[in-house]
Amino acid sequence: MQMTKTSSGNFFEDFRLGQVIRHATPRTITSGDVALYCGLFGARFAVQSSSAFAKAIGYPGSPIDDLLVFHIVFGKTVPDISLNAVANLGYAACQFLAPVYAGETLIAESEVIGLKENSSRKTGVVYVRTRGCKQDGAAVLEYVRWVMVNKRDAAAAAPGDHVPRLPTIVDPKLIGASSPALDIGAYDFALAGSQHRYDDYQVGEKIDHVDGVTVEEAEHQIATRLYQNTARIHFDQFSAAQGRFGRRLIYGGHAISLARALSFNGLANAFHIAAINGGRHVSPLYAGRTVFAWSEVLAKSQLSGRTDLGALRLRTVATADRPCRDHPYKTGEDYDPAVILDLDYWALIPR
């Protein structure tokens, strides 16, 4: 009897412009997820670490780490969007829209906003706008990503031909709604680990985050499963051994979370990611490599109508097996070979 129940994911020719996909599986986030995320990345931002600290400044409790929310929403999209992906090409227009708290349930849906077949006709690029919502429908996260997806059949007609226009930066006028108005008078900077506020950071300033962390196979697998991300390249060494890389590729988001946790040393009060302007996984990361990171302040912006927080536009660069004292990045158009991640985002920090 034939196997018809198993999903093998969508191929390029299966997508349609304007198509809306509701993703499985709804996921309730709990304090258990928070603890495991802490054990895997060791983030130390006080607002997410201490409910007493969060309440003192006006949150009802500690919000869930922004990237944990991102990874869980992202994970839901994998079975529908990127199971047959060749490469995850980029992110844009990522906005965090509301805080998420333990006990809340996340669901996700994506709209296909662009389709472009490659000249080889073997693959095409799929652009999706994904929205993560709470169980009551309130949006918590929105982002665009584009991904190169295999065709099932090279001879199949391209399902569309449209490349969406995407912003290179999220307008700072649009960010900030993801944080309640805060009582910064009650923000204990000693307890948070640094005295540095919005005004202390200068555009052009570069910060080496100093520490390095070596990734183990068990760690990235546990993290990626926690997000219910099913992309097999992260888990299946038997098949990977026969493939192009010979080993498991680590989920790109793992490098983002590692770099973000490292960035505490230098950005201790930049506790909330409000938006991601763009992100690129420059090179794959493998287990056994040690990740380092540094950041540059690309811009600063006040938030309209708010005196509690300001926004720093940061570029955080992560490397593998290369400390970042000298801020390795690009030579001309070419990335330093050690760079694995180039992430451009807005972080909020007390004024």
Query: 200 Cβ partners below 8 Å, 6+ apart?
Result: none
Residue 267 DSSP symbol: -
Beta-bridge mates of residue 130: 110, 143
Identify the burial level of 92 via C-beta atoms within 10 angstroms of its C-beta, where 0-12 means exposed, 13-18 middle and 19 or more buried: buried
Only one of the segments 116-124, 157-165, 221-229, 249-257 lies at the binding site for a copy of itself (rule: CB under 8 A); that segment is 221-229
Question: Which residue's CB is nearer to a copy of itself, number 44 or number 152?
Answer: 44
Of 22 and 330, the one with the shorter C-beta distance to a copy of itself is: 22
Q: Which residues neighbour 329 within 8 Å (Cβ) at sequence distance 6 or greater?
A: 317, 335, 336, 339, 342
Q: Which stretch binds a copy of itself (CB under 8 A): 152-160, 179-187, 209-217, 306-314?
A: 209-217
Residue 51, judged by CB atoms within 10 A of its CB (0-12, 13-18, 19+), counts as middle
Q: How many residues bind a copy of itself (CB under 8 A)?
A: 87
Q: Which is nearer to a copy of itself, 135 or 304 (by Cβ)?
A: 135
Residue that is written with structure tokens 């990522």 in the block: 94
Binding residues for a copy of itself restricted to 18-37, rule: CB under 8 A: 22, 24-28, 30-36
Across-strand partners of 242?
none
Q: Which member of 19, 194, 283, 301 binds a copy of itself (CB under 8 A)? A: 194
Q: How far is the CB of 271 from a copy of itself (least distance, A)?
A: 10
Omega prior to 30 cis, within 30 of 0: no
> Is 122 one of the binding residues for a copy of itself (CB under 8 A)?
no
- For a copy of itself, the binding residues in 71-110 under the rule CB under 8 A are 79, 103, 105, 107
- x/- map, 151-190, a copy of itself, by CB under 8 A: ---------------------------------------x
**What token pair was written down for 151?**
């065709």
Residue 212 engages a copy of itself in binding (rule: CB under 8 A): yes
DSSP letter (8 states) at residue 200: G
Q: Which is nearer to a copy of itself, 114 or 253 (CB)?
A: 253
Closest to 291 in 3D by CA, of 206, 201, 219: 219
The one segment of 139-147, 259-267, 304-312, 340-348 that binds a copy of itself by CB under 8 A: 259-267
**Which span sits near a copy of itself by CB under 8 A: 45-53, 85-93, 141-149, 328-336?**
45-53
Alpha-carbon distance of 42 to 211, in angstroms, equals 12
Query: Which is nearer to a copy of itself, 171 or 321 (by Cβ)?
Result: 321
- Cα 252 → chain centroid: 8
Residue with tokens 């869930």: 64
Figure out which of the listed residues 153, 191, 199, 337 binds a copy of itself, where binding follows CB under 8 A: 191
Site for a copy of itself in 46-65 (CB under 8 A): 46, 49-53, 62
Q: How far is the CB of 15 from a copy of itself (least distance, A)?
A: 17
Q: Which is nearer to a copy of itself, 129 or 322 (CB)?
A: 322
* DSSP secondary structure code for residue 241 in this structure: T
Which of residues 29 and 125 has its CB atom nearest to a copy of itself in the complex? 29
Residues in 267-326 at the binding interface with a copy of itself, rule: CB under 8 A = 267-268, 288-290, 292, 321, 323
- Distance, C-alpha 213 to centroid of its chain: 18
CA distances (Å), origin 18, targets 112, 115, 127, 145, 164:
5, 10, 11, 15, 12
Cβ atoms of residues 164 and 115 within 8 Å: no
Strand (E) or helix (H) holding 105: strand 105-117
10 binds a copy of itself (CB under 8 A): no
Site residues (CB under 8 A) for a copy of itself, limited to 238-257: 238-239, 248
Say which amino acid occupies 254: H
150, 230, 283, 301: residue in contact with a copy of itself (rule CB under 8 A): 230
